[in-house]
Structure 1
Amino acid sequence: MLYLITGGERSGKSSYAQELAISLSDQPMYVATARKWDGDFQKRIDRHQSERDERWTNIEEEKQLSRIDFSGKVAMIDCVTLWLTNYFVDTKNDIELCLQQAKAEIEQLVLQENATIIIITNEIGMGVHAHTEVGRKFTELQGWMNQFIAKKADKVILMVSGIPVTIKG
Protein backbone atom coordinates (compact mmCIF):
# COMPACT_ATOMS: atom_id res chain seq x y z
CA MET A 1 0.00 0.00 0.00
CA LEU A 2 1.40 3.37 -0.99
CA TYR A 3 0.08 6.58 0.54
CA LEU A 4 1.03 10.06 -0.65
CA ILE A 5 0.41 12.87 1.83
CA THR A 6 0.71 16.28 0.19
CA GLY A 7 -0.02 19.90 1.01
CA GLY A 8 1.51 23.26 1.68
CA GLU A 9 3.99 24.26 4.34
CA ARG A 10 2.68 23.75 7.90
CA SER A 11 -0.52 22.13 6.60
CA GLY A 12 -0.28 19.20 9.03
CA LYS A 13 1.26 16.62 6.69
CA SER A 14 3.82 15.17 9.10
CA SER A 15 1.43 14.98 12.06
CA TYR A 16 -1.21 13.26 9.95
CA ALA A 17 1.32 10.82 8.49
CA GLN A 18 2.70 9.98 11.94
CA GLU A 19 -0.80 9.30 13.30
CA LEU A 20 -1.56 7.14 10.27
CA ALA A 21 1.66 5.15 10.67
CA ILE A 22 1.02 4.57 14.40
CA SER A 23 -2.55 3.46 13.62
CA LEU A 24 -1.18 0.87 11.19
CA SER A 25 1.77 -0.43 13.23
CA ASP A 26 3.04 -0.59 16.79
CA GLN A 27 6.59 -0.14 15.46
CA PRO A 28 6.65 2.02 12.34
CA MET A 29 9.78 3.16 10.54
CA TYR A 30 10.63 6.81 9.99
CA VAL A 31 12.87 7.48 6.99
CA ALA A 32 14.48 10.91 7.02
CA THR A 33 15.73 12.14 3.65
CA ALA A 34 17.20 15.41 4.88
CA ARG A 35 20.81 16.25 4.26
CA LYS A 36 22.38 18.07 7.19
CA TRP A 37 23.29 21.33 5.46
CA ASP A 38 24.12 23.39 8.56
CA GLY A 39 23.58 23.79 12.30
CA ASP A 40 20.12 25.30 11.91
CA PHE A 41 19.03 22.33 9.83
CA GLN A 42 20.43 19.98 12.47
CA LYS A 43 18.22 21.73 15.06
CA ARG A 44 15.20 21.12 12.83
CA ILE A 45 16.14 17.44 12.54
CA ASP A 46 16.58 17.18 16.31
CA ARG A 47 13.15 18.75 16.89
CA HIS A 48 11.48 16.30 14.49
CA GLN A 49 13.23 13.34 16.15
CA SER A 50 12.02 14.46 19.58
CA GLU A 51 8.41 14.27 18.30
CA ARG A 52 8.69 10.48 17.87
CA ASP A 53 8.86 8.05 20.78
CA GLU A 54 10.57 4.67 21.28
CA ARG A 55 8.05 2.88 19.03
CA TRP A 56 9.73 4.36 15.95
CA THR A 57 12.74 2.99 14.11
CA ASN A 58 14.61 5.96 12.64
CA ILE A 59 16.56 5.60 9.40
CA GLU A 60 18.44 8.31 7.54
CA GLU A 61 18.76 7.90 3.78
CA GLU A 62 19.41 10.90 1.54
CA LYS A 63 18.76 9.29 -1.83
CA GLN A 64 18.79 5.49 -2.17
CA LEU A 65 15.44 4.60 -0.64
CA SER A 66 15.47 1.25 -2.46
CA ARG A 67 18.33 0.10 -0.20
CA ILE A 68 15.86 -0.07 2.70
CA ASP A 69 13.91 -3.27 3.26
CA PHE A 70 10.30 -2.19 3.77
CA SER A 71 8.85 -5.72 3.47
CA GLY A 72 6.24 -6.41 6.12
CA LYS A 73 6.66 -2.94 7.60
CA VAL A 74 4.88 0.39 7.85
CA ALA A 75 7.19 3.25 6.94
CA MET A 76 6.90 7.01 6.71
CA ILE A 77 9.24 8.79 4.28
CA ASP A 78 9.75 12.47 5.09
CA CYS A 79 9.97 14.07 2.58
CA VAL A 80 10.05 14.14 -1.24
CA THR A 81 11.10 17.80 -1.35
CA LEU A 82 14.28 17.26 0.68
CA TRP A 83 14.95 13.96 -1.12
CA LEU A 84 14.64 15.64 -4.54
CA THR A 85 16.85 18.50 -3.38
CA ASN A 86 19.65 15.98 -2.83
CA TYR A 87 19.30 14.70 -6.41
CA PHE A 88 18.95 18.23 -7.77
CA VAL A 89 22.16 19.39 -6.09
CA ASP A 90 24.10 16.21 -6.94
CA THR A 91 23.09 16.37 -10.63
CA LYS A 92 23.96 20.09 -10.81
CA ASN A 93 20.28 20.97 -11.41
CA ASP A 94 19.84 18.53 -14.32
CA ILE A 95 16.08 18.01 -14.20
CA GLU A 96 15.98 15.09 -16.65
CA LEU A 97 18.72 13.15 -14.85
CA CYS A 98 17.17 13.97 -11.49
CA LEU A 99 13.74 12.73 -12.61
CA GLN A 100 15.25 9.58 -14.09
CA GLN A 101 17.09 8.69 -10.88
CA ALA A 102 14.24 9.59 -8.53
CA LYS A 103 11.61 7.75 -10.59
CA ALA A 104 13.81 4.64 -10.62
CA GLU A 105 13.90 4.71 -6.81
CA ILE A 106 10.09 5.00 -6.59
CA GLU A 107 9.71 2.14 -9.08
CA GLN A 108 11.85 -0.03 -6.78
CA LEU A 109 9.84 1.01 -3.71
CA VAL A 110 6.52 -0.09 -5.17
CA LEU A 111 7.97 -3.53 -5.94
CA GLN A 112 8.57 -4.31 -2.28
CA GLU A 113 6.06 -6.87 -1.07
CA ASN A 114 3.75 -6.52 1.92
CA ALA A 115 4.90 -2.98 2.66
CA THR A 116 2.90 0.07 3.65
CA ILE A 117 4.77 3.20 2.68
CA ILE A 118 3.57 6.69 3.56
CA ILE A 119 5.34 9.37 1.54
CA ILE A 120 5.15 13.05 2.49
CA THR A 121 5.58 15.72 -0.15
CA ASN A 122 5.03 19.45 -0.57
CA GLU A 123 2.87 21.31 -3.05
CA ILE A 124 5.44 24.05 -3.54
CA GLY A 125 3.82 25.11 -6.80
CA MET A 126 0.76 26.30 -4.86
CA GLY A 127 2.83 28.85 -2.97
CA VAL A 128 4.71 31.97 -3.91
CA HIS A 129 6.21 32.01 -7.42
CA ALA A 130 9.96 31.34 -7.25
CA HIS A 131 12.10 34.44 -7.88
CA THR A 132 15.05 32.60 -9.43
CA GLU A 133 15.43 30.36 -12.45
CA VAL A 134 16.79 27.53 -10.32
CA GLY A 135 13.81 27.92 -7.97
CA ARG A 136 11.38 27.71 -10.87
CA LYS A 137 13.19 24.64 -12.22
CA PHE A 138 12.96 22.93 -8.86
CA THR A 139 9.25 23.78 -8.54
CA GLU A 140 8.66 22.12 -11.92
CA LEU A 141 10.73 19.10 -10.88
CA GLN A 142 8.74 18.77 -7.64
CA GLY A 143 5.43 19.00 -9.51
CA TRP A 144 6.41 16.32 -12.03
CA MET A 145 7.64 14.01 -9.27
CA ASN A 146 4.48 14.54 -7.23
CA GLN A 147 2.40 13.58 -10.27
CA PHE A 148 4.51 10.46 -10.82
CA ILE A 149 4.18 9.31 -7.20
CA ALA A 150 0.46 10.16 -7.09
CA LYS A 151 -0.17 7.91 -10.09
CA LYS A 152 1.61 5.05 -8.32
CA ALA A 153 -0.11 5.69 -4.97
CA ASP A 154 -3.10 3.75 -3.76
CA LYS A 155 -4.27 6.70 -1.69
CA VAL A 156 -3.48 10.43 -1.97
CA ILE A 157 -4.37 12.83 0.85
CA LEU A 158 -4.19 16.63 0.50
CA MET A 159 -3.73 18.40 3.83
CA VAL A 160 -5.45 21.78 4.05
CA SER A 161 -5.15 23.72 7.32
CA GLY A 162 -4.72 20.48 9.26
CA ILE A 163 -7.67 18.78 7.58
CA PRO A 164 -7.07 15.67 5.44
CA VAL A 165 -8.91 15.70 2.10
CA THR A 166 -8.88 12.43 0.17
CA ILE A 167 -7.89 13.05 -3.45
CA LYS A 168 -7.48 9.41 -4.51
CA GLY A 169 -8.38 6.08 -2.96
Structure 2
Amino acid sequence: MIIFITGGARSGKSRYAQERVLALSNNPVYVATAKVWDDDFEQRVKRHQNDRDERWTNFEEQRNVSALPIDNRVAMIDCVTLWLTNFFVDTKSDIHASLELLKKEIDALHTKSGTFFIISNEIGMGVHADTEIGRKFTDLQGWANQYIAAKAEEVVLMVSGIPVKIK
Protein backbone atom coordinates (compact mmCIF):
# COMPACT_ATOMS: atom_id res chain seq x y z
CA MET A 1 0.00 0.00 0.00
CA ILE A 2 1.23 3.48 -0.87
CA ILE A 3 0.28 6.46 1.26
CA PHE A 4 1.33 9.68 -0.44
CA ILE A 5 1.93 12.76 1.69
CA THR A 6 2.61 16.01 -0.11
CA GLY A 7 2.70 19.71 0.70
CA GLY A 8 4.88 22.78 0.78
CA ALA A 9 8.19 23.31 2.54
CA ARG A 10 7.88 23.13 6.33
CA SER A 11 4.23 22.08 6.10
CA GLY A 12 4.70 19.21 8.58
CA LYS A 13 4.93 16.37 6.07
CA SER A 14 7.75 14.42 7.72
CA ARG A 15 6.45 14.88 11.26
CA TYR A 16 2.98 13.71 10.24
CA ALA A 17 4.36 10.73 8.32
CA GLN A 18 6.56 9.69 11.25
CA GLU A 19 3.58 9.76 13.60
CA ARG A 20 1.53 7.64 11.20
CA VAL A 21 4.38 5.19 10.63
CA LEU A 22 5.02 4.73 14.36
CA ALA A 23 1.30 4.14 14.95
CA LEU A 24 1.59 1.13 12.63
CA SER A 25 4.99 -0.29 13.54
CA ASN A 26 7.45 -0.48 16.42
CA ASN A 27 10.30 -1.21 13.98
CA PRO A 28 9.73 1.02 10.95
CA VAL A 29 12.06 1.77 8.06
CA TYR A 30 13.24 5.22 7.03
CA VAL A 31 14.56 5.61 3.49
CA ALA A 32 16.52 8.80 2.84
CA THR A 33 16.84 9.63 -0.85
CA ALA A 34 18.99 12.73 -0.35
CA LYS A 35 22.46 13.33 -1.61
CA VAL A 36 24.25 15.74 0.70
CA TRP A 37 25.31 18.63 -1.54
CA ASP A 38 26.63 21.16 1.00
CA ASP A 39 27.04 21.99 4.70
CA ASP A 40 23.62 23.60 5.00
CA PHE A 41 21.92 20.51 3.60
CA GLU A 42 24.00 18.29 5.88
CA GLN A 43 22.53 20.16 8.85
CA ARG A 44 19.00 19.55 7.52
CA VAL A 45 19.77 15.83 7.21
CA LYS A 46 21.11 15.71 10.77
CA ARG A 47 17.95 17.40 12.07
CA HIS A 48 15.83 14.73 10.39
CA GLN A 49 18.10 11.96 11.74
CA ASN A 50 17.73 13.33 15.26
CA ASP A 51 13.95 13.10 14.92
CA ARG A 52 14.18 9.29 14.79
CA ASP A 53 15.11 6.95 17.62
CA GLU A 54 16.53 3.42 17.85
CA ARG A 55 13.28 1.81 16.67
CA TRP A 56 13.98 2.89 13.09
CA THR A 57 15.97 0.94 10.50
CA ASN A 58 17.61 3.55 8.30
CA PHE A 59 18.62 3.24 4.67
CA GLU A 60 20.21 5.84 2.45
CA GLU A 61 19.40 5.12 -1.18
CA GLN A 62 19.45 7.81 -3.84
CA ARG A 63 17.87 5.88 -6.71
CA ASN A 64 16.92 2.20 -6.35
CA VAL A 65 14.58 2.35 -3.38
CA SER A 66 12.53 -0.62 -4.59
CA ALA A 67 15.60 -2.87 -4.32
CA LEU A 68 15.90 -2.32 -0.57
CA PRO A 69 14.75 -5.06 1.86
CA ILE A 70 11.50 -3.29 2.78
CA ASP A 71 9.03 -6.00 1.81
CA ASN A 72 6.36 -6.54 4.48
CA ARG A 73 7.56 -3.50 6.41
CA VAL A 74 6.16 -0.08 7.21
CA ALA A 75 8.50 2.38 5.52
CA MET A 76 8.78 6.13 5.13
CA ILE A 77 10.45 7.29 1.90
CA ASP A 78 11.63 10.88 2.22
CA CYS A 79 11.47 12.48 -0.28
CA VAL A 80 10.41 12.38 -3.92
CA THR A 81 11.89 15.81 -4.71
CA LEU A 82 15.40 14.70 -3.77
CA TRP A 83 14.88 11.30 -5.41
CA LEU A 84 13.85 13.06 -8.63
CA THR A 85 16.83 15.39 -8.37
CA ASN A 86 19.16 12.39 -8.46
CA PHE A 87 17.52 11.09 -11.64
CA PHE A 88 17.42 14.61 -13.14
CA VAL A 89 21.16 15.04 -12.60
CA ASP A 90 21.92 11.52 -13.90
CA THR A 91 19.93 12.10 -17.10
CA LYS A 92 21.40 15.58 -17.66
CA SER A 93 18.03 17.28 -17.06
CA ASP A 94 15.98 14.98 -19.29
CA ILE A 95 12.45 15.31 -17.91
CA HIS A 96 11.02 12.28 -19.70
CA ALA A 97 13.89 9.93 -18.80
CA SER A 98 13.80 11.10 -15.17
CA LEU A 99 10.06 10.58 -14.93
CA GLU A 100 10.31 7.09 -16.43
CA LEU A 101 13.00 6.11 -13.91
CA LEU A 102 10.80 7.29 -11.04
CA LYS A 103 7.70 5.60 -12.46
CA LYS A 104 9.62 2.32 -12.66
CA GLU A 105 10.50 2.63 -8.98
CA ILE A 106 6.94 3.53 -7.95
CA ASP A 107 5.54 0.63 -9.97
CA ALA A 108 7.97 -1.76 -8.27
CA LEU A 109 7.01 -0.45 -4.82
CA HIS A 110 3.33 -0.75 -5.72
CA THR A 111 3.76 -4.51 -6.27
CA LYS A 112 5.53 -5.11 -2.93
CA SER A 113 3.80 -6.17 0.25
CA GLY A 114 4.12 -3.50 2.91
CA THR A 115 2.97 -0.01 3.72
CA PHE A 116 5.01 2.75 2.11
CA PHE A 117 4.58 6.38 3.12
CA ILE A 118 6.01 8.44 0.27
CA ILE A 119 6.73 12.10 1.04
CA SER A 120 6.88 14.80 -1.64
CA ASN A 121 6.84 18.54 -2.15
CA GLU A 122 4.36 20.68 -4.04
CA ILE A 123 6.93 23.02 -5.55
CA GLY A 124 4.59 24.24 -8.28
CA MET A 125 2.37 25.99 -5.73
CA GLY A 126 5.00 28.57 -4.90
CA VAL A 127 6.90 31.22 -6.79
CA HIS A 128 7.31 30.61 -10.52
CA ALA A 129 10.86 29.40 -11.23
CA ASP A 130 13.15 32.05 -12.73
CA THR A 131 15.24 29.66 -14.80
CA GLU A 132 14.44 27.24 -17.60
CA ILE A 133 15.91 24.33 -15.64
CA GLY A 134 13.85 25.34 -12.61
CA ARG A 135 10.69 25.35 -14.69
CA LYS A 136 11.61 21.96 -16.19
CA PHE A 137 12.10 20.49 -12.72
CA THR A 138 8.83 22.00 -11.47
CA ASP A 139 7.02 20.29 -14.36
CA LEU A 140 8.81 17.01 -13.60
CA GLN A 141 7.85 17.22 -9.93
CA GLY A 142 4.22 17.91 -10.80
CA TRP A 143 3.99 14.95 -13.19
CA ALA A 144 5.73 12.68 -10.69
CA ASN A 145 3.34 13.71 -7.92
CA GLN A 146 0.35 13.06 -10.18
CA TYR A 147 1.65 9.59 -11.00
CA ILE A 148 2.28 8.65 -7.38
CA ALA A 149 -1.08 10.04 -6.26
CA ALA A 150 -2.85 7.94 -8.90
CA LYS A 151 -1.10 4.79 -7.62
CA ALA A 152 -1.60 5.60 -3.94
CA GLU A 153 -4.41 4.20 -1.84
CA GLU A 154 -4.37 7.37 0.25
CA VAL A 155 -3.23 10.94 -0.50
CA VAL A 156 -2.77 13.62 2.18
CA LEU A 157 -1.97 17.28 1.54
CA MET A 158 -0.27 19.00 4.47
CA VAL A 159 -1.23 22.65 4.94
CA SER A 160 0.34 24.58 7.84
CA GLY A 161 0.77 21.39 9.85
CA ILE A 162 -2.77 20.20 9.22
CA PRO A 163 -3.38 17.02 7.20
CA VAL A 164 -6.07 17.39 4.52
CA LYS A 165 -7.17 14.05 3.14
CA ILE A 166 -7.41 14.22 -0.66
CA LYS A 167 -7.97 10.55 -1.48
* TM more than 0.5: yes
Q: Distance in 1 between matches of 2:33 and 2:41?
A: 12
The alpha-carbon deviation at position 39 of structure 1 amounts to: 2.0
Matches within 5 A, 1:7-156: 7-113=7-113, 115-156=114-155
Q: Distance in 2 between matches of 1:35 and 1:75?
A: 19
The alpha-carbon deviation at position 101 of structure 1 amounts to: 0.9
Task: Tell me the matched-pair count.
Answer: 167
The alpha-carbon deviation at position 128 of structure 1 amounts to: 0.6
User: Structure 1: which amino acid aligns with 2:20?
Assistant: L
Q: Distance in 2 between matches of 1:166 and 1:47?
A: 27
Gaps of 5+ in 2: none
Q: Distance in 1 between matches of 2:23 and 2:118?
A: 16
The alpha-carbon deviation at position 143 of structure 1 amounts to: 0.2
Q: Distance in 2 between matches of 1:85 and 1:51?
A: 24
Gaps of 5+ in 1: none
- Aligned-pair identity in percent equals 63
Q: Distance in 2 between matches of 1:80 and 1:64?
A: 12
The alpha-carbon deviation at position 40 of structure 1 amounts to: 1.9
Any idea what the Cα deviations from partners look like across 1:80-110, whole Å, max 9, x if unmatched?
Answer: 0000001001110001111111111111111
Q: Distance in 2 between matches of 1:62 and 1:159?
A: 24
SS at match of 2:100: helix
| Divergent runs of 4+, >3 A | none
Q: Distance in 2 between matches of 1:42 and 1:8?
A: 20
Q: Distance in 1 between matches of 2:43 and 2:12?
A: 20
- Name the Cα RMSD after superposition: 0.7
